[in-house]
Amino acid sequence: MQARFLALAALVAVSACKGGDGDAAATPVQETKLVVTGSSTVAPLFSEIAKRYEQKNPGMRIDVQTGGSGRGIADAQQGLAAIGMSSRALKPEETAGGLVGTPIAKDGIGIILHKDNPVKALDREKIVAIYSGTVRNWKEIGGKDAPITVVNKAEGRATLELFLVYTKLKATDIMASVVIGDNQQGIKTVAGNPDAIGYVSIGSAEYDAANGVPVKLVTIDGIEASTKTVTDGTFPLARELYLVTKGAPSGSAAALVEFARSPEVSDLVKAQFFVPSPRPVAEGGGPGAKPLETMTPTGS
C-alpha cells in the first residue's frame, strides 16, 4: 500500500513539472532585452514609446540610456546597443560604415531666454554676435543693462552641430559662459538665470514652458519657434530625429523601429511636442525609410 502511494506521488510530481496536460501557461515567458542609447532629445520620447511597446509585448524589456547622439551612433556601430538614438542625420562616413538611420519624428532647435527677459526676437546676426562675444550686454540689443550668460552645448552634441551649421560659426568661435550637456540641463540653467541665453530642442522647451518652467522661446529671423512652424517647414533650425542601426534593422530591433514609426505612437510624439515623420515608400533604409539626407557640420 505504501509502495503504491509513493508511486502515485512520483507520478503527480512528474506531471506538475511537465505543466500537466500540455498547459502552455506553465511555460515561463522568455525575456528579450534591447539596449537603446544616445540623444537626450530623442530619449524622453523613445522611453514612452518603449513603455507602450513593453505593455503590448510581455517579456520584452527595453533599456533606454542617454549620452548624446555621438554615443548612440558609436554604440550602434560597435554593437554595444541594438539601436542608437540620434538627433542629427548620419554623415557619409557613418553610412559608408554600414549604419542605417530611420526617422521617427521632426524637431526644431530654438533659442531660449528666461521668461522675464524683455527680448522677444533675435535674428541670425544677433545670435552670432552674442555667441562670438561681440555683444556681451543685453542693453546692446534692446534688453536691460545686464551681462549676457552664454550657455553652449558640449562637443559631440547633435544640437551643437546644427547650431554651428545655422550660425556658420566654428566651435572655437563660441565664447561660452556655461557648457551643458542635455536639453534639461540647458533649460534648468536658463530658468535659473534671468540673463542667460541657450538653445535646446523646441519640443523640450515648449513642454517645460507649458508646465510652468520660467523659460520662453524667442522668434528667430521673424519666424515663431514652435512645433507649428517645424511642421510647415518654415522654421530655419529644424531636423529629423533618427533611430540608428548597424545595417537594416532585423529581428526584435526591426519590430521596435517599425512600432516607433507607426500611427500607434503618434499621440506620444505629439505629447512630447514633436512632429511625426511621414512614412515614405521603402527605398533601402530601415523599414519604410528613405535614404538618409546627410549633413556635414561646420567646424566638426
Q: Which of 124, 150, 155 is nearest to 235 (CA)?
A: 124
Q: Each residue's pLDDT tens digit in the chain (300 positions)?
A: 444 434 434 433 333 343 444 443 433 334 589 999 999 889 999 999 999 999 999 999 999 999 999 999 999 999 999 999 999 999 999 999 999 999 999 999 999 999 999 999 999 999 999 999 999 999 999 999 999 999 999 987 888 989 999 999 999 999 999 999 888 999 999 999 999 999 999 988 998 999 999 999 999 999 999 989 998 989 999 989 999 999 999 999 999 999 999 999 999 999 888 988 876 533 333 333 333 333 333 322
Q: Domains of the chain, with CATH numbers? A: 32-107+239-276 (3.40.190.10), 108-231 (3.40.190.10)
For residue 231, CA distances in Å to 47, 68, 132, 226, 281 come to 23, 24, 30, 9, 20
pTM comes to 0.72
Q: How far apart are CA 171 and CA 160, in angstroms?
A: 8
Residue 153 cell numbers, joined: 552645448
